[in-house]
Amino acid sequence: AAVPHAVAAASAPPHLVLICFPGQGHVNPMLRLAKRVAAKGLLVTFSSLASVGARLAAAAGVSAGGDGVPVGRGRVRFEFLEDGDPGPDLDDLMRHLDTAGPPAFAALLRRQAEEGRPVACVVANPFMPWASDVAAGEGILTAVLWVQSCTVFSLYYHHVHGLVEFPPEDDPEARFRLPGLPEMSAADVPSFLLPFKLLADAIITQFRTIGRASWVLVNSFAELEGDVVAALPGVTPRPPELIPVGPLIELQQQAGQEEEDAVRGDLIKAADDCVEWLDAQPPRSVVYASVGSVVLLSPGEVAEMAHGLVSTGRPFLWVVRLDTQPHLPAGFVESVSGRGAVVAWSPQERVLAHPSTACFLTHCGWNSTLETVAAGVPVVAFPQWGDQCTDARFLVEELGMGVRLRGARREAVREAVEAAVAGPRAGEMLASARRWSAAARAAVAPGGSSDAHVQAFVDEVARRARG
Ligand code: UDX
């Protein structure tokens, strides 16, 4: 017989289970949310596919099961689905998630109750809409964590409900407006919504079910995207309320948060000697370049980027994933040794926080965007597809934190880096970046806007769990 979920021993902390889509850009914000919530006294279980568990074990030393590790007043533990291996292809993965995910997640939830940790609430990723249905079927409260910007949420929402027609891509002059947002063009719309529709179906499904969750937490903060959040309730049909709880960055630089570093979400082992290398560079000298975990540059782009970075005459730290390293010019790593470092994966937040880092050449994934905002590092924005285009516009045009790089030609790379680090507007960009950094840190500091939202969420989960 099913074990009731909502009833825990009066003294036990409420138990929250997070279920995460398998991707670095999803694991990082989910795990950081896990730590924020645990720090306020909840027991949190982070779950995902078995393959994510294996990678976290190998790269970050995470071990599944047991009581987990203490974080603040609570604990974070890990448990993974028994779901088999979908392989690397995205279509196979999406199909696998839909078929193997629901029974494996239901089993995981039941196991919690049987082992004396009944689940008070599930936080799901909107890319796995079935997770909320499984939780609801077990009588468990649900929340979702939206891991992209509120701007992107609004664009998707308007599109899915037929409330906006985006201008054609071949008319760069045409503009459109949505509530609480500045004028945009087709180039600012996430590319999944335009004729190139890789994940469009998954996104549409998310928006059909997202309103059923009791909370929609978003990785953003009120001071950054307050206008779009405030405008959404005026839209018909009315979207769910967005609750900003970000930026979901690591807080290890703040006093008393050291234990956070004990739980890391790297799916690839980070080259920790990057920090020593940065220590040896002059202050604000280094160009840090990375295109995140999913963008694949073509062999030609990698070669142009290599020449471009060298031609800046500045030290650079470049993340080139192992699958891309064969495209580097022959002998490149040896030839730049000392002045340039190439790593397969970096401890990115430590790199951005390092005083030697001068600018970030980024693909503008939303995590990288928020991390550079929080660190106060100006950008060379080099978006490729999806929400990266929207985020690049936001960084450059709204926040005034950098310049755009269009295409990976070597001269363009050199000019863009120069403009961001030493050009006539570089001082202004650095000042903006530092102002936004202060605002981001204030939002997650005790009593800040996002910290208060996390506290309210935790209090409400606890109140409902105690019934
Ligand atoms: C993707 C999408 O691009 C992103 O917009 C979406 O919100 C989530 O899925 P990804 O392309 O990997 O994510 O980029 P990003 O969102 O920036 O996330 C990458 C994460 O990996 C960041 O948290 C970053 O700190 C980390 N990282 C990246 C490292 O720790 N080391 C590296 O070398 C590179």
Mutate to test the pocket of ligand 1, among 199, 368, 369 (most ligand atoms within 8 A of CB): 368
* Res 254: pLDDT: 45
Which ligand 1 atom is nearest residue 319's CA?
Answer: 33
The rounded Å distance from CA 413 to ligand 1 centre is: 21
Nearest residue (CA) to ligand 1, atom 29: 348
Mutate to test the pocket of ligand 1, among 24, 318, 362, 393 (most ligand atoms within 8 A of CB): 24
* Amino acid residing at 445: A
Q: Tell me, what's the pLDDT at 255?
A: 40
Contact between 260 and 248 (Cβ < 8 Å): no
Question: Can you read off the two tokens belonging to residue 170?
Answer: 């071949």
Q: What is the pLDDT of residue 199?
A: 65
pLDDT at 7: 55
By residue count, the chain amounts to 467
146, amino acid identity: W
* Torsion-angle region of 383 (φ positive above 0: left; ψ -120 to 50: alpha; else: beta): beta
User: Residues 170-224: pLDDT tens digits?
Assistant: 898 899 999 999 999 999 998 876 654 556 777 778 887 888 899 999 999 999 9
Catalytic annotation, residues? 26
| pLDDT for the residue numbered 9 | 59
148 lines ligand 1 (CB under 6 A): yes
pLDDT, tens digit (0-9, with 9 covering 90-100), for 12-33: 899 999 999 999 999 999 999 9
3-state secondary structure of 74: strand
From 154, 112, 168, 157, select the one nearest 135 (Cα to Cα): 112
Distance 349 CA to ligand 1 centre (A): 11
The pLDDT of residue 126 = 86
294 lines ligand 1 (CB under 6 A): yes
CB 340 within 8 A of CB 309: yes
Give residue 23 CA to ligand 1 midpoint distance, Å: 9
- Give the residue ranges of the chain where pLDDT is below 50: 1, 196, 253-257, 260
Distance 320 CA to ligand 1 centre (A): 13
